[in-house]
Structure formats: structure tokens, C-alpha cells
Structure 1
Amino acid sequence: MTTGTTGAGDLAGRPLRKVARVILFDPADRVLLMHGFEPEDPDRRWWFTPGGGVEGDETLAEAALREVAEETGITDVELGPVLWHRICSFQFDGRRWDQEEWFFSARTKQTETVLTGLTELERRSTAGLRWWSSAALSATRETVYPTRLAELLRTLLDEGPPSTPIVLAPEIA
């Protein structure tokens, strides 16, 4: 999760940070999620997809691949199409994050992860990584973002990627 603001559009007059996220599948169709927490309140935890802000003149696809490498150590990635698009806004680390996010599908055979490429903020707010089966994700009572991820993944695995990206409901917290 880089912190650059390269926004398109706005949310209540605030620019949106342009973010590329990745739904990364392994050969067993498990998806990789990061376990995050609020640095000032480590008991407030959630799971989320790898990804972060677009830097400089890089494309969304370039940002997606860079973020996966930095946040997970996985570099052998076959990037697929954009699946979903959403606007979100949330409080984190003492500030408001207003984002426009694109979720790419991706596949890898590399399942070993490392957290050595994290930024300082990510080191202060990441508890680890986990590969989730669709069934485990559907059964969990833990907080996962985007909030409908289990349902979205089930549809994706059953029907394949949509012909055009699906616009998800905004998530404002």
C-alpha cells in the first residue's frame, strides 16, 4: 500500500487515490489475503487484497504487479483482466483514505510469501498473509474487504471473469 495520491474523481470534494488491487489465485484456486490492523489499535483487524497506489506514470497493471511483489514477495504472476471497480473511503493510521480501486485477477504457481518489501506503514500494520479457499472465506466471521469478497470469488470461480469490470457499491467507513 503506497501512499501517493494520483486521483481521478473525488469524494465529497476530496481527490481520490488511484489504487490497483489483485485477486491472486494459486493453483488450488485459493486467494491470497493480507492480515492488517490499525497501528494505534492492534485489536482492530481485517483481511484485504494485496495492492496499493499508482506511482508516477505507471499503469494500473504495472502498479498491481509491483504491489504484489513488494507486499508478498511473489514475482511469478500472470496478470488477468480487471474484475471489479469501486470507490472506498476509510480512516486508517490517523487519516482518511479516499480511493478509486481496480481489482485485477491474477494467477501464480509461487505460493511461498515474504514480507521483506513492505513500507514502514505496512510493517506497522500487517500481521501476515494467508491463502484462503473460497469455502474458508465464506465461513469466516473475520472482517474482509471488500465486504462481499466471498460472494464475488464464488461467482468468479463458477462463471469466470466478467466481460467488463463490475462496479461494486462504494464502501465508506
Structure 2
Amino acid sequence: MHHEPTRRTVARVLPVSSEGKVLLLLGCDPALPEVRYWFTVGGAADAGESLAEAATRELREETGVVVSPAALGEPYGTFEVEFSWDGRRYVNESTLFAVALDETAAGPISFAGLDLLESQSIFDAAWWTPDDLDRDGRAVDPRLIDQMRAAIAHVRQD
């Protein structure tokens, strides 16, 4: 039986440090727990929620970092991705936001806001330069390196 993928409107946020590093999460698809990869903070917007509100809610839930939707400013990009996660197919229409965030001011990352499934699929958070992540080779999507560079340029207004 062929099922159409679930279409979602998604907000992703890339916190950028003054050193040109981006905060990413390390996780896996629960259906493939042995394959771990780095990805951006974010998720689907709830009904009636703006994309900026969704991005800041996801940032708070997934890292414990609190910023206001206004701090995000305008999005800097969009992309579509089709993928499988936990045995289901999805198509995400993703909007990218970047926010300047000092590594030390952000404080320790907390996963206390994760739901049960997320807590079984998100293991770590770390600050990465695009070049270091490119060398690491565990980006969830090959576009992530360019998205990180664009987020850094957007925050720096390059």
C-alpha cells in the first residue's frame, strides 16, 4: 500500500555565535538508531503559530535556550526536503531563521523540553563551524553546510 507523505510547514533556527559557530543537535531516526547525524533545531509549526513563534518554541523545547520571536528577524532561506522518520514519510517546507547567540550566554543546553520520542532521538548539542562539520561528515543533509554559512552571513549582515 502506497501512502502519501505527511506535508508539514516547518521552522528551523540556527543560533550563530560571534566566533562563527552554529548550534546543532546530534540525533537519529528512531527507526535507525545506529545512524547518528547533526541537524538544525526546529520542527513543525502548530496551528495558529507563526513561523518565528514555532522556531523559538522549538529552540526552547530542544535546547532550553529562550529568545523572542522578534529576535529572529526575517527568515534567510527556505527549502523542501522529503525524508523518512520513525517509519513515516514526510515532506517539510522549511523556513530558516538565524539568531545571534553567544555560546556562554546561552548557558548549558537542556533537553528537558523534549517529548518522549524526541528524547530517544536527540543525544547531544554542539557548536560547529561549517568547515569542521564538513570534515566530520555527519550532516543530515548536504545543504546544511551552505545553510550554516548563509546563517552566519545573515547574522553578520555580510
Between the aligned residues of both structures, percent identity stands at: 33
Name the structure 2 match of 1:115: 111
Q: How does 1:9-88 map to 2 (within 5 A)?
A: 16-76=7-67, 78-88=71-81
Q: 1:156 to 1:35 in 2, by over 3 A?
A: closer
Q: 1:52 to 1:71 in 2, by over 3 A?
A: same
1:98 to 88, 91, 96: 91
Q: 1:97 to 1:50 in 2, by over 3 A?
A: same
Deviation of residue 160 (structure 1)? 3.7
Deviation of residue 57 (structure 1)? 0.1
Deviation of residue 87 (structure 1)? 1.1
- Which structure 2 residue ranges, 5 or more long, are not aligned? none
Instruction: For residue 43 of structure 1, give the secondary structure of its aligned residue in structure 2.
Output: coil
Deviation of residue 75 (structure 1)? 0.6
Instruction: For residue 138 of structure 1, give the secondary structure of its aligned residue in structure 2.
Output: helix
TM-score in terms of structure 2 length: 0.83
Cα shift readout 1:119-142 (whole Å, capped 9, x = no counterpart): 111011111111112331232222
Name the structure 1 match of 2:124: 128
**Pairwise CA RMSD:** 2.3
Q: 1:46 to 1:155 in 2, by over 3 A?
A: same
After superposing on structure 2, the runs of 4+ consecutive aligned residues of structure 1 that deviate more than 6 Å are: none
CA contact (8 A) 2:39 2:144 kept: no
- Which structure 1 residue ranges, 5 or more long, are not aligned? 1-11, 164-173
Deviation of residue 155 (structure 1)? 4.8
Name the structure 2 match of 1:145: 140
Instruction: For residue 148 of structure 2, give the secondary structure of its aligned residue in structure 1.
Output: helix
